[in-house]
């Protein structure tokens, strides 16, 4: 036997026991999004590389170092999506949805980034996010933030903290960028290699450096707030005012700039202190320039993306995940004619919404009961010669071992009421 093939580093299987929590999260999120008037959209996992280069930005870590890019058999340059915003804009443009009734959408699915795998950082990870178009008002920024806040509440999460900042309009950012470059140039000696590189390409990104000396430098770096034009300032003030009115607590983090190029005005992140270094569970903000960059009419937009793996881990730590639901019934059938009766009973039982595993294979009574026990089902229905002759079924409670006989006519009512009581 050759060695079994393993999954790719940084790409994880989600096993049945893990998925209970995932499905719970997806279900709660989809209800919350629907309550805000958002509709689901599904887009391909692969897009033209150019889409990401144009939207996320050539000089971002994602496009420079992290994308899974390849040539397909036609010689087209394609990439696995590292995030979904660019693809959603592409789809909205392609189908003419941006200026129609559907301007609020949500998505969920896998994203791919070739980062260094560690706890909370994977190469295939999952995001659930929303995007909304056509509304330039700060009210939209607050709407998307309040959706996340509502979601945490519904999930029973406590202790997640909101950080916000503004990146202003592109015009006010030009002046700020100059001031930053001047400041960092005057302090070149304290910059690490990565920051030196960013000083040329994307100086704002120095603000979220993890290097100790640079963090110190950032404490007293110029603050964008002092460079905002009056419209940008008003926009940010309104975000703050509405958040306060809604009772959504936040802190302003002047160093919050986020990794993607397309943000403007409000940016935000939800953080937790329970997950170690990878402490952001959700990031988002406004990205007014992106639609135009991708060939559409100028269209304001805002959105966020939640990191599903991190959120699930947090839900586990806070014991907010339920256990896997048990299968209700396992049918044990000890002969060919018992099997026929069992199969047709199973169909009837499933019709009323009860889950049934029908034994396949081994005909021995003992081995089937063992399988019933191992399956985690609550009840075993046993059909043997006796039962066939008396048109009845033996019902065995697998936890206690108790058993009783029920006529086939009364079977549905009996097992329904037993399962209801057991809930």
Side by side, the strands of the sheet bearing 69-71 are 46-48, 77-80, 69-71
Q: In this chain, which residue has its C-beta nearest to ligand AMP? A: 307
Least Å from the CB of residue 402 to ligand AMP: 47
d(CA 390, CA 393): 9
Pick the closest to residue 404 from 412, 393, 413 (CA basis): 393
Verify binding: residue 137, ligand AMP, rule CB under 6 A: no
Side by side, the strands of the sheet bearing 329-333 are 356-358, 329-333, 379-383, 392-397, 403-407
- Candidate list 109, 110, 134, 259; residue touching ligand AMP; CB under 6 A: 259
d(CA 150, CA 160): 12
Candidate segments 11-19, 51-59, 209-217, 278-286, binder of ligand AMP by CB under 6 A: 278-286
d(CA 200, CA 197): 6
- Nearer to ligand AMP by Cβ, of 121 and 350: the residue is 121
Verify binding: residue 115, ligand AMP, rule CB under 6 A: yes
Verify binding: residue 274, ligand AMP, rule CB under 6 A: no
Secondary structure (3-state) at 293:
helix
Using CB under 6 A as the binding criterion, the count of chain residues that bind ligand AMP stands at: 17
- Candidate list 125, 152, 184, 263; residue touching ligand AMP; CB under 6 A: 125
Verify binding: residue 317, ligand AMP, rule CB under 6 A: no
Q: Which burial class, exposed, middle or buried, applies to 158 when counting CB atoms under 10 A from its CB (0-12, 13-18, 19+)?
A: exposed
Binding mask 148-187 toward ligand AMP (x if CB under 6 A, else -) reads ----------------------------------------
Least Å from the CB of residue 65 to ligand AMP: 12
Contact 180, 206 (CB under 8 A): yes
- Nearer to ligand AMP by Cβ, of 9 and 95: the residue is 9
d(CA 263, CA 266): 8
Verify binding: residue 286, ligand AMP, rule CB under 6 A: no
Binding mask 68-107 toward ligand AMP (x if CB under 6 A, else -) reads ---------------x------------------------
CA distances from 150 to 46, 236, 248 (A): 32, 21, 10
The span from the first CA to the last CA of the chain, in angstroms, equals 46
List the interface residues with ligand AMP, window 390-409 (CB under 6 A): none
Q: Which burial class, exposed, middle or buried, applies to 412 when counting CB atoms under 10 A from its CB (0-12, 13-18, 19+)?
A: middle
Verify binding: residue 122, ligand AMP, rule CB under 6 A: yes
- Candidate list 105, 305, 312, 377; residue touching ligand AMP; CB under 6 A: 305
Backbone phi, then psi, for 91, in 5-degree steps? -65, -40
List the interface residues with ligand AMP, window 209-248 (CB under 6 A): none
Verify binding: residue 127, ligand AMP, rule CB under 6 A: yes
- Nearer to ligand AMP by Cβ, of 160 and 331: the residue is 160
Residues of this chain that interact with ligand AMP (CB under 6 A) are: 83, 113, 115, 120-122, 125, 127, 259, 280-283, 305, 307, 309-310
């Amino acid at each position: 036997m050759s060695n079994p093939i393993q999954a790719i580093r940084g790409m994880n299987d989600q096993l049945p026991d893990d998925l209970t929590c995932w499905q719970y999260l997806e279900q709660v999120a989809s209800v919350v999004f629907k309550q805000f008037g958002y509709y689901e959209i599904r887009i391909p996992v692969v897009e033209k590389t150019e889409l990401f280069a144009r939207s996320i930005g050539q000089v971002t870590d994602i496009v420079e170092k992290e994308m899974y890019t390849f040539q397909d058999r036609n010689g087209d340059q394609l990439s696995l999506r590292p995030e979904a915003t660019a693809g959603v804009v592409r789809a909205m443009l392609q189908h003419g949805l941006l200026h129609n009734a559907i301007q609020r959408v949500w998505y969920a699915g896998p994203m791919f980034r070739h980062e260094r795998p560690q706890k909370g950082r994977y190469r295939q990870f999952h995001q659930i996010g929303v995007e909304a178009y056509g509304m330039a008002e700060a009210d939209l920024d607050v709407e998307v933030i309040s959706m996340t806040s509502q979601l945490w509440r519904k999930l029973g999460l406590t202790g997640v903290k909101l950080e916000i900042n503004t990146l202003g309009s592109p015009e006010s950012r030009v002046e700020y960028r100059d001031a930053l470059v001047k400041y960092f140039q005057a302090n070149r000696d304290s910059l690490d290699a990565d920051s030196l590189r960013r000083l040329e390409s994307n100086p704002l990104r120095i603000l979220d450096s993890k290097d100790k000396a640079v963090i110190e430098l950032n404490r007293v770096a110029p603050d964008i707030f002092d460079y905002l034009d009056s419209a940008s300032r008003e926009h940010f003030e309104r975000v703050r005012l509405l958040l306060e009115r809604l009772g959504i607590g936040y802190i302003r983090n002047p160093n919050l700039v986020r990794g993607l190029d397309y943000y403007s005005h409000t940016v935000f992140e939800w953080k937790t202190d329970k997950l170690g270094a990878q402490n952001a569970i959700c990031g988002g903000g406004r990205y007014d320039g992106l639609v135009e960059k991708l060939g559409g009419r100028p269209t304001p937009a805002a959105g966020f993306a939640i990191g599903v793996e991190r959120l699930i881990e947090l839900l586990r730590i806070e014991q907010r995940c339920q256990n896997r639901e048990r299968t209700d019934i396992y049918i044990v059938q000890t002969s060919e004619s018992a099997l026929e009766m069992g199969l047709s009973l199973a169909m009837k039982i499933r019709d009323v919404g009860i889950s049934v595993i029908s034994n396949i294979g081994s005909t021995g009574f003992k081995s089937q009961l063992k399988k019933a026990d191992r399956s985690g089902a609550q009840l075993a229905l046993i059909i043997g010669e006796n039962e066939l002759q008396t048109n009845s079924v033996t019902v065995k409670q697998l936890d206690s071992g108790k058993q009783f006989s029920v006529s086939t006519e009364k079977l549905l009512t009996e097992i329904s009421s037993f399962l209801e009581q057991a809930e």
